[in-house]
Structure 1
Amino acid sequence: MRSEPRGLALIITNIAYEYYVSRPSAKYDEDNLNILFTEMGFKTIVRRNLTGIEIKKEVKEFSKMKELRRVDAAFIIISSHGHGEYGKQETEIQGTDYLSPNYKSVFCTDIIDYFTAEQCPNLCGKPKIFIFQTCRGNTHQKAVSRNVTDTISTEHPDSEQPYDLSSRNYEDTLIAYATLPGYVSYRDKYTGSWFIQILCEVFMNYACERHIQDLFVMTDRRLKDLRTGHNGCQTLWVINQGFHKHCYLNPGLFHKPGGENK
């Protein structure tokens, strides 16, 4: 990656709700993410307290921005109340009008579908990273004791049809959920959500030398060590959709007009 700006980052944070409990510490997530991506060379677009309909509207407008064709990547980050069911991957993002009479649901898949190769050709062949900081259900994950020794198990056909001029609709996409389907995600009232706090620290310290998949692995490794007072814990869940290259953000490195790097 060498474009300047490096990419565009849409950051949506819901804090105040009409009919539901507010998320005041989420403002720290918003601040930390804005600082992180600005310092990594991204242009950030920050939106706060959106209804379900407004979330879809903002994301759709972002996906149509002409500036996307001139940058190397896009991040779409949504921090909000959310809900799902155990064993089911679908997750609802709850807008600030959640539980109101005219509430319209929005799902993570709705957001992702705005960035297929067909719907967002300006990002075709470019990294698209989605980060969803939401609960995905009401189940609390509990840490368990382990008294066994870890062990390691040791245990496509080629096609003649050229595909270099086409692209799959769902490709070059990473989706990072703060927690597993059906489970809650935790947030500290003083520092913000566990996931976003650790992600910002890891990206800030290691984005200069590690690729994105490694950064998510490092984030989950640190997330593994956190516990609530009732021994609650959290597991990061990352989905790979045709993301087959190592993507280095290279903060601070940009193309100069003559083709040289600066």
Structure 2
Amino acid sequence: MKSFHTRCPLPPRRGAGADARKLFRVLSDLGFAVTQHFDLTAQEVMDAYQEEIAKEQGDYFLSVLSSHGDEGVIFDFNGCPVKLTDIFAMFTPRRCPVLAGKTKMFFVQACRGEMLDPGVDVETDSCSETQDSFSHYLSIPNDTTVMFASSPGYGAFLNASGSAFLQTLCELLSSEARELELLQLLTRVSHRVAYRFEARGQHSGSREMPCIVTNMTQEAFPFATHAVHDQVRQGEETPSRTCDQHPDGHCDTTCTLQRRDLNRFPKLNSGIRGCLWNQRPLPSREFEATLCSSLDLKAL
């Protein structure tokens, strides 16, 4: 939600547009088919989800909910509550067989209460009511992870530049961190939001602590490259390819490593040694650092 009906007491959400633009660019670059909806009524929200889950789906489903909110709800264009339990219930195997057994991710940028964590001018995504209900935790389907911008009972920060939560998520998805397993990646998001952002002005010193709720039954790498997906499915820890000219690994010191492999797979240092030194151990990290420097990369 960016704005609300004129009869609705909720204020417009400065920065929501900035979040939407950044999310669209980053997720599109990662290969997701992105559909955006703005300023919907509660029924239109549910209709949009119903339309989406009726489509053929890939291996991963991701949804971002951004609005004013409270514990267990977000608010629609008219200021009416939309229960998260109603949304999550649409993704059970019975109601959504096309996503059964597949990883589903929800990111919720909304306040979950009025408290501020004592811990930029900011606005908050809260409303005046407080709802003490945690039933939405129990309604999360299997193979689903939900990440909230804030902890139960606390507000979530938003200013004209966007939200600390979604902007941080986009920042990490645009970096090498996208190769991490999902929960490792989200833990990094939590750390950055919690320790790198602090409110000033009226709410000076307040911080924001994201919250992750998961019913995952297996590891997931939804933002990694296709090469990583293939290796994970085959049960291998890291890619075996180390050289453009000799994919079997038998190469000499004149071979050129793929720059994107160096940049994306930190564990390739053993492959670098084998490729450049004909399978002989590297006596020190000095040559490895020199190699990375020559390719404008940081040492692994």
What is the alpha-carbon distance in structure 2 between the residues aligned to residue 34 and residue 184 of structure 1? 25
Amino acid in the other structure paired with 1:219: V
Residue by residue over 1:9-32, the C-alpha shift from the partner in whole angstroms, topping out at 9 and shown as x without a partner, is xxxxx0011122001310011011
- Provide the residue aligned with 1:45 in structure 2: 35
Q: Is the Cα–Cα contact under 8 Å of residues 182 and 220 in structure 2 kept in the other structure?
A: yes
| Runs (4+) off by over 4 Å | none
The yes-or-no answer on 1:232 pairing with 2:209 is no
Secondary structure of the residue that 1:220 maps to in structure 2? Answer: helix
- Larger helix proportion of the pair: 2
Corresponding position of 1:112: 88
1:249 corresponds to 2:239: no
The corresponding residue for 1:16 is 3
Once residues 72 and 130 of structure 1 are traced to their aligned partners in structure 2, the CA distance between those partners, rounded to angstroms, is 15
**What RMSD in Å do the two structures reach over aligned CA positions?**
2.0
Aligned partners of 1:41 and 1:251 also within 8 Å: no
CA distance in 1, matches of 2:224, 2:34: 15
Quick check: 2:2–2:38 contact (8 Å CA) kept in 1? yes
Q: Does the CA-based 8 Å contact 1:52-1:93 persist in structure 2?
A: no
Q: Is the 8 A contact 2:26 2:174 kept in 1?
A: yes
Task: Name 1:221's counterpart in structure 2.
Answer: 191
TM-score, normalised to structure 1's length? Answer: 0.73
Task: Give the C-alpha shift of residue 209 in structure 1.
Answer: 2.2
- 5 Å-filtered alignment, 1:118-197, equals 118-143=94-119, 170-189=141-160, 191-197=161-167
Aligned length: 203
Partner amino acid, structure 1, of 2:75? Q
Task: Note the C-alpha offset of 1:208.
Answer: 4.3
List gaps (5 residues or longer) in structure 2: 120-139, 231-300
Letter in 2 for 1:245: Q
Read off the aligned partner of 1:196 and give its amino acid letter: L
What code does the residue aligned with 1:181 have? Answer: P
Q: Is the 8 A contact 1:179 1:236 kept in 2?
A: yes
How big is each residue's C-alpha offset from its partner over 1:29-84, in whole Å with a ceiling of 9 and x where there is no partner? 1011111110111100111111122111111221222x11xx11100111111012
Contact preservation (8 Å) 1:75, 1:130: yes
More strand by share: 1
Of structures 1 and 2, the one with the larger relative CO (CA 8 A, separation 6+) is 1
Report SS of the residue matched to 2:222.
coil
Selected match of 2:45 from 47, 55, 66: 55
Query: Quick one: percent identity of the two aligned structures?
Result: 26
SS at 2:218's partner residue? coil
Under a length normalisation based on structure 2, what TM-score does the superposition of the two structures give? 0.64
CA distance in structure 2 between the partners assigned to 1:77 and 1:133 by the alignment: 8
C-alpha distance after superposition, 1:132-184 (max 9, x if no partner): 111111111111xxxxxxxxxxxxxxxxxxxxxxxxx9211001111111111
1:251 Cα deviation (Å)? 4.3
